[in-house]
Amino acid sequence: MRKILFFVLILFVFIGCEQTPNSGVESQKPEVEDSESEIDTGIGVENGHEYVDLGLSVKWATCNVGAETPEDYGDYFAWAETQPKSKYNWKSYKYQKEALSISDFLTKYTDDEDCYPGFADNKKVLDRADDAAYVNWKGKWRMPTPEEFQELINFCTWEKTIQNRVVGYKVTSTVEGYTERNIFLPAAGEIHTDVEGKETEQRYVTTRGYYWSNKVNDSHNFYAYYLIFYIDDKSIRISDNSRCAGYSIRPVCP
């Protein structure tokens, strides 16, 4: 009889050890930090539009104005104009007044009173109302300065690439701590209209990129500064051209 009682007692002890004790506090998994959450990609959003922090003086948008993805060409703008249009020549340019001769007189962003009587305002940098990046995206967005474009050239590597079947440059930061970050600039070409306004064509698509800055040429007010790159010979530089040309715009923000 004692043997039977001893066996039953051992059985109860064994069953009790198999049960999970309930202290009244629910058990929780230990908190393990997600390593991916600590990775700073440098990607952020300003007023609904994405940017990348390349470690430079400004942050660069991931898309052109008018584009939905980095590979989209987006819209084309004449310098100091804020909307795309069907023709890009001096006759269609917003800030010009046709003179009695063949020449056109500028009506804004000019410093030569003798050449442009009555219209000299000595402005060199776009007003906010004429900045296509700000007008279309608002927030803190604006068009880049020539110096900011030069910074992008000097402190990034430029690699010719095809991204989602679109030719352009992958621009990757060389600044310490930012070398994993990049933007893509498609070779969107330009839109050009002949002098008489009869023919408009989209030129140099897949072979060149033209991106307006926010500054007019100091010595030749008919021209404004822009970034130009060639895909074939890997030439990347700041240049200037007629303000009436139809170029792309890649915004920046602080």
Indicate whether 203 belongs to any domain. yes
Cα separation of 162 and 139, whole Å? 31
3-state secondary structure of 121: coil
When pLDDT is cut at 50, 70 and 90, the band that residue 105 belongs to is confident
CA distance 155 to 170: 13
C-alpha–C-alpha distance, residues 215 and 6, integer Å: 97
pLDDT of res. 103: 54
Number of compact structural domains in the chain: 1
- 42 Cβ contact list (under 8 Å, min separation 6): 52, 53, 54, 55, 178, 181
Q: Which residues 6+ apart lie within 8 Å of 101 measured at CB?
A: none
Residue 34, in any domain of the structure: no
Residue 114 lies in a domain: no
Q: Do residues 88 and 245 lie in contact, with contact meaning Cβ atoms separated by under 8 Å?
A: yes
Q: Could you read off the pLDDT of 23-79 as tens digits, one per residue?
A: 333 333 334 334 343 467 899 999 999 999 999 999 999 999 999 999 999 999 999
Residue 194 belongs to what domain range? 39-94+124-253
Q: Is the pTM of this model over 0.85?
A: no
Is there a domain that residue 102 lies in? no
Q: What is the pLDDT of residues 108-167, one digit of tens each?
A: 999 877 667 778 899 999 999 999 999 999 999 999 999 999 999 999 999 999 999 999
The amino acid present at 74, given as its one-letter code, is G
Answer yes or no: is 21 within a domain: no
